[in-house]
Structure 1
Amino acid sequence: MTDVNQLITDHLSIWTAATEKKSSAGRGNGGSVSLHGIKKLRELILELAVRGKLVPQDDTDLPADGLLDQLHFQQTQMYAKSLIKKPKPVAKIAASELPFELPRGWAWCRVSQLGHDWGQKVPDSQFTYIDVGSINKELGLVSEPTVLEASKAPSRARKLVRNGTVIYSTVRPYLLNIAVITETFEPEPIASTAFAIVHPFDGVSASYLYRYFRSPAFISYVEGCQTGIAYPAINDKQFFSGLVPLPPTEEQHRIVAKVDELMALCDALERQAEDSLKAHQTLVETCLATLTNSQSPEELTQNWTRIEAHFDTLFTTEESVEALRDCVWSLAVRGMMGSCAAASSTDGSNHTNDAVPSTAIRKIRKPLPLLSEEDVPFGIPDGWVWLRVCELFQVSSGTSFPAKEEMDSGEYAYIKVADMNLPENQSEIRTSSRFIDPDIKQKKKLIPANSIVFPKRGGAIATNKKRFVRSEIFADLNIMALTVPADISIDYVMIWLKGIDLARLNTGTSVPQINHQDIDPLPFPLPPRPEQDFIVAKVRALEELCDFLKQRLSAQNRLSTNLADALATKFH
């Protein structure tokens, strides 16, 4: 018998250290870490439970073979009283179907042998409707049912349920929308046809069934027979044909109690780990704030030195490293890294100076008001100047082509937002899924070389993707481009743009959108060209440090995850 309490405490560091990054779009996704080790521990607890390795067997318990005889008798009696439909024949269980060996006193059976349903009906009066959205899958309860009039009943509202019924969503079963109905609902409860219904016979614990349906063993069975890609599902026949390792009734209750005890311990570990991550995040934010609040390069150097001494403590998650990277971008465009940075700052006026090339100032059709001190987000060093984006850069949107003109290869790449996700395009546009051979008129819509492109419409705005364009390309209508003049460093412009959260520029309503009026007025801090190059070199070195830290953390996380996986597998 596996001592799971000791298994948890002896390997506590492994369970709590194994984390994974959740998939999510956009910047600033704090709390995006998944506690993989604790998740594996929960799976291990369920796996040990349904294999009979969690609690000891008791020879005085009625063996499962005898229990199955009792269940068959109950089924026969209920059919004789017309309480249930005629049971369907149960397919014999072949040895090749058995996924693992069972301890003494247990028996393999099919789901259909353990319970029954209550039939179906079309609602004819007010009823309590239970659909997938009513399930609190963490607690395994129905928490938000809806009371509906019969006239407003959805076509899926058909399956009758009662207190003690187990409901299992057969649509997208990987979401584990499973629950035990633990109360008597009034008016009459009716569930969606998205659920398979099992009301256990006497001697079968609904709580044990609920935990088995969430176990890796049953999940593996479902994954093996489900069909569909976008909305995978299994049918009732497949569900009720699934195998169940059946313990004696008394042992079922002991298993449920032990699982609940151990899951409570996992909950405590999870809270402790999450609190630790939140405290660490607060510490990182506080320390990085001392950098961004520095009033001079000299003060920045002092604060950096203090933080550098605690790198191993501070930057232990990918999120903290990305926060450091954001901080670097912010400091760079504030003039805190340049060779000419001065402790004194200019006001927000819009004057030019000799260090700014006159060719950089563009003529604009609709002059905007001069930048005032209230318009700029921070002070900049002497020798720098604030200018609006439209005064420096050509801002352009993409174009569209008839589908018949799009080709698999051609003279010019025609990029769409999805092309920014291609492995070759992670920093600059190198390839595309579509190409165009344009005529002379269409060439006027080319995005020039030395540009930066980013999404301007739809949910892709929140991904904050920005890519260099080194040669002329076409882009579709969902993309906007910033073209940088030759006498300004495009790498410096990218540093500034990386610090801009595109989602904050969104002025769309139902469909997020960025327009020229959102980009054109933005204030841009322009240093002299030599200082731009100096800043780019400094930022590049610090970004390489961030990349190194992330690679090291990624390797550590993989090791921790592999250790947790291996430990869980070892005790199956």
Structure 2
Amino acid sequence: MNAARLLEHFERIAEAPNAIPRLRKFILDLAVRGKLVEQDSNDEPASELLRKIKNEKDRLVKIRCIKKARSINKLQDEDIPYDLPHGWKWSQLSEIGVISPRNDIDDKREIAFVPMKMIPAEYGVKHDAEIKLWSEIKTGFTHFAEGDVALAKITPCFENGKSTVFSKLPGGFGAGTTELHVVRPFFVSQNYVLIYLKSPQFIGTGIPKMTGTAGQKRVSTEYFSNSPFPLPPLTEQHRIVAKVDELMALCDRLEATQAKRESRRNRLATASLKRIGQPEAVGNGEEFQGNVRFHLHHLPRLTTRPEHVKELRQTILNLAVRGKLVPQDPNDRVKKIDIIRLVKGERKARGFPLEISSGSFSSFGVDVDSVNIPISWELMKLSEIVLAVVDCPHSTPSWADSGAICVRTSQFKPGFLDLSNSRYVSIETYRERIQRIEPQEDDILYSREGGILGVACRVPKQVNLCLGQRMLLLRSTSVCLATYIEIVLNSPFINSLAQKQTTGGAAPRINVSLVKSYPIPLPPLAEQNQIVAKVDELMNLCDQLEVQLATSQRRRSRLLEATLCEALGVTCMPVARPTRPTPSPVLSAPPRSESPFEVQSLRLVDTPKAAVQGSLVEQPKSPTTSPRAAGNDIPGAILAQMQPGQDYSRAQLVDALGLSVYEWNMAIRELKESGRVVQTGERRGAKYQVA
């Protein structure tokens, strides 16, 4: 693998989830499988290296420098995870070194002390150390010396890959956390041992074998000492370490490039949304419409992660409550005095108190005249436009296996009540909890405490439920749609006010009286209906964007390994075979329109060419130009192209069938594993024959 080759493929893999971390793991995996550097037949084989190690250990035992090790359980055929290249040998750490070595040095000597926090999880990062007297740390800690290799054995440090080669230790010796396994290797590259300890094979196999209680699980000494260790010739070990160092440095550069690009894109997306949502640009003027068109035109590039869609949703809600989403009718205006009169009439007719006590806008630091809303709107307190604001019972529900639903704030999503994981109370408890008010369809539930403070959703149709804790219920009137109130309560405008007024520290909450005083930008009823309809359309678009992003991420994940195989020059990879990808729907840029928020101008289309920058989806070639297999039986199509006794290169078969890299890698792996095709040669020189 070389830098130029990977850079050529980087744009295709960079958008895959965790692309660079997965690339790092892939490099380590290939290193210990013998697929990262070429083998040299002139290298002294690993079997000879093992003989030298045994002789050295025998010599040290004889002069009493080390203790004679206990007999090693030899590896059985079922212990071997994969085949090794010629010249390699399966071994064990207990065979190539000393496990848990001990130090015998002067008490007054200053040496290194390494706690767990100073042991890195990343390859290529050096450990840190403190300096202490040996007398202070010689008991109760793990011993090690210059050149020893350590592995963190406790969860989650083991899973995270915490391991290190001890180097440049003050005094040449050290001690550290007791949660370490240590090996002192002989005639084996310490950095190669480190690569092995950080490899996905070693960590992945060790995780299910950890023992202990949750949070205190550990990797056993047996697993550390006697797991299969792939031992290459010594000179090849040095080549492997050099290549891993080179590729990890390349990953660092790629990661920096990706971070820079993401930062630039995030700044552009944030600035674009800010221009659209800034409060001073009231109305649908030409400048505002231009800002909207700019964002929609670049939406495929600005919306590449779920958090971008979340920001877009917040912008839509912000525009909705500031009167920027639909045009105003100059002949339709809200009059505060009429609203208050109508609401009081409804309260009287339906048996609710005529007045709802509340504070003033000044509680939020809001000046009515400073809130930029259309002149046909009014800024009113929440308590002035609803029938009731009712707090929940201040008691923990007595849960039951069945009965009536009692909702929890964890079920609240902005604009949606998730009843898929409901809990129940008895009918008797239900009756107790609805004494203040019985929830009905389209009542608004609002979370006012805890980690999800400030989320509003409505009670769905044909559902009987009661209130749990940390929530309010609001019932709308004829002057204001419940759906519009839900939009306002979920908007950044209200959320920012609520966050400033929370109390309670670790368990934040907002007082009921403050909720009643929320300043609600109120448009005429007809405009409310238009706003709700437009928000629904735009939120549906956001739903489509999220589905597309999730689909693209799954496809990119499946294609990442295939792309890496191509960049690394290997023809197989140790991953499960996914299904063949299909063309991905991508966002087309909207044409210029008089309305800045025409949903139909931003649509999902199928295209034979990836239109989103950084897309990893390889599109299938046209069936009219190459003999593709019926039913997508690509392995069968490859066999049909091959004649017994004849060698074929990958290029011949790929070109003949019009296959993508992904399709080739998956199909040839299946054919080789089933024994229908045999491979001769490696990498670019590989040839294939019918078995």
TM-score, normalised relative to structure 2: 0.69
Q: Check if 1:317 corresponds to 2:305.
A: yes
Please say which of residues 178-187 and 168-177 is displaced more in the overlay.
178-187
CA contact (8 A) 2:124 2:245 kept: no
Q: Give 1:263's match in structure 2, choosing from 215, 229, 248.
A: 248
Identify the residue that residue 381 of structure 1 maps to in structure 2: 374
Identify the residue that residue 308 of structure 1 maps to in structure 2: 296
CA distance 1:433–1:47, shift in 2 (3 Å)? same
Q: What is the correspondence of 1:503-514 to structure 2 with a 5 Å cutoff?
A: 506-514=502-510
Identify the residue that residue 237 of structure 1 maps to in structure 2: 222
Q: Which amino acid aligns with 1:491?
A: T
Identify the residue that residue 434 of structure 1 maps to in structure 2: 424
CA contact (8 A) 1:447 1:481 kept: no
Deviations 1:500-558 (A, max 9, x none): 26665543324444443663443222222222221110111111122222222322222
User: How much has 1:224 moved relative to structure 2?
Assistant: 4.2
**Counterpart Cα distance in 1 of 2:517 and 2:136:** 51
User: How much has 1:260 moved relative to structure 2?
Assistant: 0.8
Q: Give 2:143's match in structure 1, choosing from 138, 144, 160.
A: 160
CA distance 1:186–1:496, shift in 2 (3 Å)? farther
Q: What is the correspondence of 1:332-347 to structure 2 with a 5 Å cutoff?
A: 332-340=320-328
User: How much has 1:107 moved relative to structure 2?
Assistant: 0.8
Q: Check if 1:566 corresponds to 2:562.
A: yes
Q: Check if 1:115 corresponds to 2:115.
A: no
Deviations 1:13-61 (A, max 9, x none): 322131x3xxxxxxxxxxxxxxx33233222222221111222223343
Deviations 1:78-124 (A, max 9, x none): 33444444312111111222112111221111122232222389x99
Residue ranges of structure 1 left out of the alignment (5+ in a row) = 21-35
Identify the residue that residue 188 of structure 2 maps to in structure 1: 204
Deviations 1:344-384 (A, max 9, x none): x99xxxx8243566417973446446687636873111232
Q: Counterpart of 1:89 in 2: which secondary structure? A: coil
Identify the residue that residue 32 of structure 1 maps to in structure 2: none
What count of residue pairs does the alignment treat as equivalent? 537
Identify the residue that residue 57 of structure 1 maps to in structure 2: 39
Identify the residue that residue 474 of structure 1 maps to in structure 2: 466
**Counterpart Cα distance in 2 of 1:167 and 1:456:** 50
CA distance 1:316–1:441, shift in 2 (3 Å)? closer
CA contact (8 A) 2:443 2:473 kept: yes
Q: Check if 1:444 corresponds to 2:450.
A: no
Q: Give 1:492's match in structure 2, choosing from 462, 467, 484.
A: 484
Q: Which amino acid aligns with 2:372?
A: G
CA contact (8 A) 1:124 1:150 kept: yes
Q: Which amino acid aligns with 2:548?
A: R
CA contact (8 A) 1:395 1:520 kept: no
**Counterpart Cα distance in 2 of 1:278 and 1:86:** 57
| Higher RCO (CA 8 Å, separation ≥ 6 residues) | 1
CA distance 1:58–1:566, shift in 2 (3 Å)? closer
Q: Check if 1:531 corresponds to 2:530.
A: no
CA contact (8 A) 2:359 2:516 kept: no
Q: Counterpart of 1:525 in 2: which secondary structure? A: strand
Identify the residue that residue 119 of structure 2 maps to in structure 1: 135
CA contact (8 A) 2:142 2:178 kept: yes
Q: What is the correspondence of 1:10-409 to structure 2 with a 5 Å cutoff?
A: 10-18=8-16, 20=17, 36-116=18-98, 117-119=100-102, 129-139=113-123, 141=125, 143-145=127-129, 157-172=140-155, 173-185=158-170, 189-201=174-186, 203-227=187-211, 230-231=214-215, 232-293=217-278, 294-299=281-286, 300-340=288-328, 352-354=336-338, 358-359=342-343, 363-365=355-357, 367-368=359-360, 374=367, 378-392=371-385, 394=389, 396-401=391-396, 405-409=398-402
Q: Counterpart of 1:99 in 2: which secondary structure? A: coil
When Rg is computed on C-alpha atoms for both structures, the one with the higher figure is 2
Q: Which amino acid aligns with 2:72?
A: V
Deviations 1:180-203 (A, max 9, x none): 2222146963222221112222x1
**Counterpart Cα distance in 1 of 2:56 and 2:392:** 71
CA contact (8 A) 1:45 1:259 kept: yes
**Counterpart Cα distance in 2 of 1:527 and 1:443:** 32
Please say which of residues 175-184 and 499-508 is displaced more in the overlay.
499-508
User: How much has 1:445 moved relative to structure 2?
Assistant: 5.4
Q: Which amino acid aligns with 1:483?
A: L
Q: Which amino acid aligns with 1:380?
A: I
CA contact (8 A) 1:420 1:429 kept: yes
Q: State percent identity of aligned pairs.
A: 27
Q: Counterpart of 1:448 in 2: which secondary structure? A: coil
CA contact (8 A) 2:401 2:424 kept: yes
Q: Check if 1:483 corresponds to 2:468.
A: no
CA contact (8 A) 2:357 2:513 kept: no
CA distance 1:537–1:257, shift in 2 (3 Å)? same
CA distance 1:84–1:459, shift in 2 (3 Å)? farther
Q: Counterpart of 1:386 in 2: which secondary structure? A: strand
CA contact (8 A) 2:112 2:169 kept: no
